């Protein structure tokens, strides 16, 4: 499967996601003039790590006497994004298992696309016909249709 090398035919599903929002569309139009109908929308509130963590990073003893090093702070924001990608992958599996779609295009922020790929069940992965490593969640639907139809 090649990136940006797919056919956006009627009934093809499109997932547009970032780490906080996922839109599941079905193309009710055709390849030349796609019309995306929203099937499902997922959102999670994910403030920056500085607003989620309250404690200072931990410290640990080093091998020398009286030496201590700080431990890197947990990136709560990134962990929440990864969990969100896993939730989206689980929902895709439920839809695929219930034969809601036969083909799907994944369009997500590059890091989220990588997380999605790792979490996809084989039943879903077999239905992926294209991947677009772009963040399009804040674009209007018409703009997403135009961007993806020019890619196919």
What's the pLDDT score for residue 3? 46
Tell me the per-residue pLDDT of 26-52, one tens digit each, with 9 for 90 and over: 999 998 899 999 999 988 664 455 555
Tell me which CATH code domain 13-44+75-151 carries: 3.30.420.60
What's the pLDDT score for residue 20? 86
What's the pLDDT score for residue 1? 40
DSSP sequence for the chain? --TT-----TT-EEEEE-SSEEEEEEE-S-SSS--EEEEEEEE-----HHHH--SPPPEEE-SSTT-EEEPPPP-HHHHHHHHHHHHHHHHHHHHHHTTS-S-EEEEE-HHHHHHHHHH--HHHHTTEEEEE----TTS-HHHHHHHHHHH-
What's the pLDDT score for residue 61? 62
Q: Which residues of the chain have pLDDT under 70?
A: 1-5, 44-77, 151-152
């Amino acid at each position: 499967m090649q990136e940006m090398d797919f056919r956006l035919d009627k009934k093809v599903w499109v997932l547009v996601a970032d780490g906080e929002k996922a839109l599941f569309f079905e193309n009710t139009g055709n390849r030349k003039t796609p019309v995306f109908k929203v099937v499902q929308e997922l959102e999670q509130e994910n403030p920056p790590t500085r607003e989620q963590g309250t404690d200072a990073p931990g410290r640990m003893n080093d091998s020398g006497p009286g030496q201590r090093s700080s431990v890197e702070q947990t990136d709560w924001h990134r962990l929440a994004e990864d969990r969100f990608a896993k939730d989206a992958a689980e929902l895709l599996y439920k839809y695929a298992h219930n034969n809601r779609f036969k083909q799907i295009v994944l369009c997500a922020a590059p890091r989220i696309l990588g997380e999605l790929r790792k979490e996809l069940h084989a039943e879903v992965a077999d239905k992926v016909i294209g991947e677009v490593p772009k963040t399009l969640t804040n674009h209007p639907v018409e703009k997403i249709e135009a961007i993806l139809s020019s890619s196919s």
